[in-house]
Chain A
Amino acid sequence: MTPRLALCDITKRYASTLANDSVSLAVMPGEILALLGENGAGKSTLMTVVFGITRPDSGTIAVDGVTVDIDSPRRARSLGIAMVFQQFALFDSLSVLQNIALGLPAAPLAAIESRVLELAARYGLEIVPQRRVHDLSIGERQRIEVLRALMSSPRVLILDEPTSVLTPQATERLFETLRELSADGVSVIFISHKLHEVRRLATRCVVMRAGKVVGEVDPRSESDASLARMMLGAEPLPIAAHESPAGGVALAVDGLSFVGSDQWNLDRVSFEVRAGEIVGIAGISGNGQQALMAALAGELLVEADAVRLFGQAVGRLNTAQRRALGLRYVPEQRLGHAVVAGMTLSDNALLTDLSLQSSHVLNVDKASERAAQIVQRFGVRAATSAKIETLSGGNLQKFIAGREMLAVPRVLLLDQPTWGVDAGSTSAIRNELIALRAAGCAIVVVSEELDELYQLADRVVVMAGGRLSPSRAPQQIDTAELGRWMAGFWPADDPRRASAEHAA
């Protein structure tokens, strides 16, 4: 049988990295193929090549056995290839139907609507065409994107990390739809780095690492561990076990509210973190985590007593003042937030140095000494005189986390500490966190990776819509329950109870 889509020796080089290194793969009609790999393994690049967004340096693409030159998304669509991106491209103020019609050749809206409803019914993609997009949840928005892709009756449907923004329940519904598409003969390529999802959905799995295909397996006959080994190229270091009683309250947040833009709302957030404890904050990105971290770190000033460090009201203190009290922060965005691109490792080692508060002349020797310490202690592979932006993702995060950890924090905040970081660096960072906890540091970890939170946290809380759930020990809550909480439904959600609490 001729493959629906066959890639042969696709190579794509970006300035310093080989994103795809003679990658070949094929997908059969009606097959669900998972493309598994870590962040940065080259999965997305490969798919943008197929969709005509990126031009490969070499290699060929064949559709139904015919070699084609895909030079634009328009050409890809005409060949029956459709793609659903990680980032949605929807107009908030338009209706669902208008958003779908925008990408299509001009046609009467009524005709489009009947086709949309027909597709929606067939694949279980419940939508209301007249609703405005800004009222919809993330899962509903993704359904629009999927429907939009299906309008052109594709024969190949590519989905780039479709579940990264979904709750477990919404993920399950998406999988149902994909299975029905597959039954109708549509080839589905599903990009993911989540092992259990790949094992549940796909019949064949191509594993990529560092731009190359490193294996092709039937995921149903593999274990999470064997897939992880293939994906990471090495067994992740085991995480040290922990048994340490929590101490006194280090960080206390009480009734913290903030009204910003959509993703910057905080609604009466209260919680405590004790010395020697790791609190994990789960949740889908964009539910207030950024605002919370900014308010805790001092980048966003709030009411003085909404945030307390060791009993002291610090809501009005800036980052440097809170740092002097022992609070350290590893932000989500690395270049441009945690470090300054264009400066060397030495300069960046100084960025959060307390000596900047007290002296007027830079101690250049001390800066390079400090940078050398970080590099050595945390195994950063770079010279201290190198520009910081030349570091790879893993090395960069080791440098940043190392800089803050070496300062012996009493409270440490981390936002997505291992996102896009290779497996070795990830376990190194996690083990350092555990050592810090044993030394009595209070730690807050915001993460979208539930595995990470289950592995590290003593208590887990969930953020949704700017509110914070009650906390649970990870053993007391399974992923399904956590998923419901991530959608905003947790036990204390009963409005009468909530308002009674508020009144009290």
Chain B
Amino acid sequence: MTSWHLAPRASPSRAWIWLSPVTALVLTLIAGAILFSVMGTSPLQGLSVFIVAPLTSFRGWSELALKATPLILCGVGLAVCFRANVWNIGAEGQLIAGAIVGGGIALSADADSPRAWFVWVLLASMAGGALWASITAWLRDRFNANEILVSLMLVYVAQQLISWVVQGPWRDPNGYGFPQSELFVAAARVPVIVDGLRLNAGSIVALLAAVTVWWMLARTVIGFQLKVVGLAPMAARYAGFSSRRSLWIALLVSGGLAGLAGGLEVAGPIGQLTSTVSPGYGFAAIIVAFVGRLHPVGVVLASLVMALFYIGGELAQSRLGLPSALTGVYQGLLLFFLLACDTFVRYRVQFHQAATV
């Protein structure tokens, strides 16, 4: 009789570190196909609408890059946090805080404002996101409060805050009572790259952010210290690195990038403040960070995949009449399979004949 068990590897498999997300993606698509057939749609048709259709036009690719932008920004920020063992689950809240502060600056512009006004909007949104994250950092630093819970709960506070802002002080007086602000003036909006498409300079900013974060993690003393604190807190104390400093840097960087993502959304495709500035980019970015192996290049690739799920979900709704909640199901499946596949980074399957004694 042949049986099998998981045997630990001598050292983590480098191949599986990257094979795991690829395998998880394949398994997600297989499970997704099964899901389509259960819902009464041909799996082939479903998948083609969900993942092929968005990629068949230039417009499709530009939408993909647009959707990937906030995911990249939040994802690389979270990669910094998670590398430093700081469990920031609140990128969504930091994104919203960035949208509020950036939106405030955008609303203060008028027709005479210089064209570069949007730069102030983006800088303000970074400050807003960093400020929101610093609440978590301060409570953790001062009172040793659990950053997972604090950052997560601050998401709901931020959601209430933006909802109040757009229904109260900043509501568009000519907006028929909808919970949204006035449209931003042109000077406060991020310039588009190609006329006629929604793709804007934000995508370039996101790529630059990914490169900068890569450089910070791989080539700077601060990045080295963050990694050491994350991998081995005792070794960090031995080396003389401050874990408090790591905490603050990680949360300020990731908060700032998430805030920037919020600013780019409201000053980009949305063009105003609404009560729903994000379809959960900050939470999806957690999955992005892990699928991307906490590496900025991986995060960019994973962001494109997740962005595809967002667009695919919308298309599945409009063309096949399926619920757009499919996006969330796909995201969940991907994370689920990733965690399962990650087992093979540290373990391998060993087959053996059952001992006969």
A-side contacts of B221, CB under 8 Å: 356, 359-362
- Establish whether residues B235 and A351, one from each chain, have CB atoms under 8 Å apart when the complex forms: yes
Encode contact with B along A341-379: 1 for CB under 8 Å, 0 otherwise.
Answer: 111000100111000100111101000000000000000
Encode contact with A along B219-255: 1 for CB under 8 Å, 0 otherwise.
Answer: 1111111011001101101111100000000000000
Q: A351-B239, A352-B239, A356-B224 are in contact. Are A337 and B8 (CB under 8 A)?
A: no
- Stretch from A44-52, A77-85, A313-321, A453-461 forming part of the interface with B: A313-321
Most buried by A among B219, B221, B234, B238: B238
- Establish whether residues A362 and B219, one from each chain, have CB atoms under 8 Å apart when the complex forms: yes
Number of A-B contacts (CB under 8 A): 76
Most buried by A among B221, B227, B237: B221
A-side contacts of B234, CB under 8 Å: 333, 336-337
SS class, residues of chain A in contact with chain B: loop
- Establish whether residues B235 and A338, one from each chain, have CB atoms under 8 Å apart when the complex forms: yes
A29 sits at the interface (CB 8 A): no
- Complex CA gap A67/B356 in Å reads 12
- Establish whether residues B220 and A360, one from each chain, have CB atoms under 8 Å apart when the complex forms: yes
Nearest CB of chain A from residue B255's CB, rounded to whole Å: 22
A387 sits at the interface (CB 8 A): yes
- Complex CA gap A340/B238 in Å reads 11
A299 sits at the interface (CB 8 A): yes
A390 sits at the interface (CB 8 A): yes
B59 sits at the interface (CB 8 A): no
Nearest CB of chain B from residue A61's CB, rounded to whole Å: 10
Selected contact of B357 from candidates A69, A298, A361, CB within 8 Å? A69
- Shortest Cβ distance from A389 into B: residue: B11
Q: Which of B17-58 contact A (CB under 8 A)?
A: none
B-side contacts of A390, CB under 8 Å: 10-11
Most buried by A among B225, B231, B235: B235
A-side contacts of B232, CB under 8 Å: 336-337, 340-341
B115 sits at the interface (CB 8 A): no
A-side contacts of B225, CB under 8 Å: 356
- Establish whether residues B239 and A343, one from each chain, have CB atoms under 8 Å apart when the complex forms: no
A37 sits at the interface (CB 8 A): no
- Complex CA gap A342/B11 in Å reads 9
A499 sits at the interface (CB 8 A): no
- Shortest Cβ distance from A60 into B: residue: B357
- Complex CA gap A208/B355 in Å reads 27
- Complex CA gap A209/B234 in Å reads 32
- Complex CA gap A343/B227 in Å reads 9
- Establish whether residues B10 and A337, one from each chain, have CB atoms under 8 Å apart when the complex forms: no
A-side contacts of B218, CB under 8 Å: 362
- Complex CA gap A362/B222 in Å reads 9
Q: Which of A308-334 contact B (CB under 8 A)?
A: 318-321, 323, 329, 331, 333
A76 sits at the interface (CB 8 A): no
- Establish whether residues A319 and B240, one from each chain, have CB atoms under 8 Å apart when the complex forms: yes
- Establish whether residues A15 and B8, one from each chain, have CB atoms under 8 Å apart when the complex forms: yes
- Shortest Cβ distance from B235 into A: residue: A340
A-side contacts of B219, CB under 8 Å: 361-362, 364
- Shortest Cβ distance from A17 into B: residue: B10
- Shortest Cβ distance from B224 into A: residue: A362
B-side contacts of A351, CB under 8 Å: 228, 235, 238-239
- Complex CA gap A337/B357 in Å reads 44
Nearest CB of chain A from residue B240's CB, rounded to whole Å: 3
A-side contacts of B11, CB under 8 Å: 16, 387, 389-390
- Complex CA gap A242/B241 in Å reads 37
Selected contact of B238 from candidates A69, A299, A343, A347, CB within 8 Å? A299
Encode contact with A along B191-219: 1 for CB under 8 Å, 0 otherwise.
Answer: 00000000000000000000000000011
A339 sits at the interface (CB 8 A): yes
Selected contact of A319 from candidates B7, B8, B228, B237, CB within 8 Å? B237
A-side contacts of B9, CB under 8 Å: 15
- Shortest Cβ distance from A71 into B: residue: B357
- Establish whether residues B231 and A361, one from each chain, have CB atoms under 8 Å apart when the complex forms: no
- Complex CA gap A340/B235 in Å reads 6
Nearest CB of chain A from residue B230's CB, rounded to whole Å: 9
B-side contacts of A16, CB under 8 Å: 10-11
Q: A336-B232, A340-B231, A340-B232 are in contact. Are A350 and B240 (CB under 8 A)?
A: no
A-side contacts of B224, CB under 8 Å: 347, 350, 356, 362
B-side contacts of A298, CB under 8 Å: 240
Nearest CB of chain B from residue A59's CB, rounded to whole Å: 11
- Establish whether residues B231 and A318, one from each chain, have CB atoms under 8 Å apart when the complex forms: no
Q: Which of B71-113 contact A (CB under 8 A)?
A: none
Q: A323-B240, A331-B238, A350-B224 are in contact. Are A15 and B7 (CB under 8 A)?
A: yes
- Establish whether residues A342 and B239, one from each chain, have CB atoms under 8 Å apart when the complex forms: no
- Establish whether residues B238 and A329, one from each chain, have CB atoms under 8 Å apart when the complex forms: yes
- Complex CA gap A442/B357 in Å reads 60
- Establish whether residues A342 and B231, one from each chain, have CB atoms under 8 Å apart when the complex forms: yes
A-side contacts of B238, CB under 8 Å: 297, 299, 319, 329, 331, 337-338, 351-352
Nearest CB of chain A from residue B92's CB, rounded to whole Å: 29
- Complex CA gap A347/B241 in Å reads 15
- Complex CA gap A380/B184 in Å reads 64
Q: Which of A280-312 contact B (CB under 8 A)?
A: 297-299
B-side contacts of A67, CB under 8 Å: 357
- Shortest Cβ distance from A300 into B: residue: B237
- Shortest Cβ distance from B239 into A: residue: A351
- Establish whether residues B239 and A361, one from each chain, have CB atoms under 8 Å apart when the complex forms: no
- Shortest Cβ distance from A317 into B: residue: B240
- Complex CA gap A337/B241 in Å reads 13
- Establish whether residues B239 and A319, one from each chain, have CB atoms under 8 Å apart when the complex forms: yes
Nearest CB of chain B from residue A366's CB, rounded to whole Å: 12
Nearest CB of chain B from residue A337's CB, rounded to whole Å: 5
- Complex CA gap A343/B218 in Å reads 12
- Shortest Cβ distance from A324 into B: residue: B240
Nearest CB of chain A from residue B212's CB, rounded to whole Å: 13
Nearest CB of chain B from residue A341's CB, rounded to whole Å: 7
- Complex CA gap A352/B224 in Å reads 12
- Establish whether residues B220 and A299, one from each chain, have CB atoms under 8 Å apart when the complex forms: no
Most buried by A among B7, B218, B223, B228: B228
A-side contacts of B7, CB under 8 Å: 15
- 25 A-B residue pairings within 8 Å (CB atoms): A15-B7, A15-B8, A15-B9, A16-B11, A299-B237, A319-B237, A319-B240, A323-B240, A336-B235, A337-B234, A338-B235, A338-B238, A340-B227, A340-B232, A343-B227, A347-B224, A351-B238, A352-B238, A361-B219, A361-B220, A362-B218, A362-B223, A364-B219, A389-B11, A390-B11
Q: Which 9 residue pairs are nearest across A and B when measured between Cβ atoms?
A: A320-B240, A16-B10, A15-B10, A319-B240, A69-B357, A340-B232, A337-B234, A336-B232, A340-B235
Binding site for A on B (CB under 8 A): 7-11, 218-225, 227-228, 231-232, 234-235, 237-241, 357
12 new A-B contacts at CB < 8 Å, known A15-B7, A333-B234: A15-B8, A16-B10, A299-B238, A321-B240, A329-B238, A336-B234, A340-B231, A341-B232, A343-B227, A360-B221, A361-B220, A362-B220
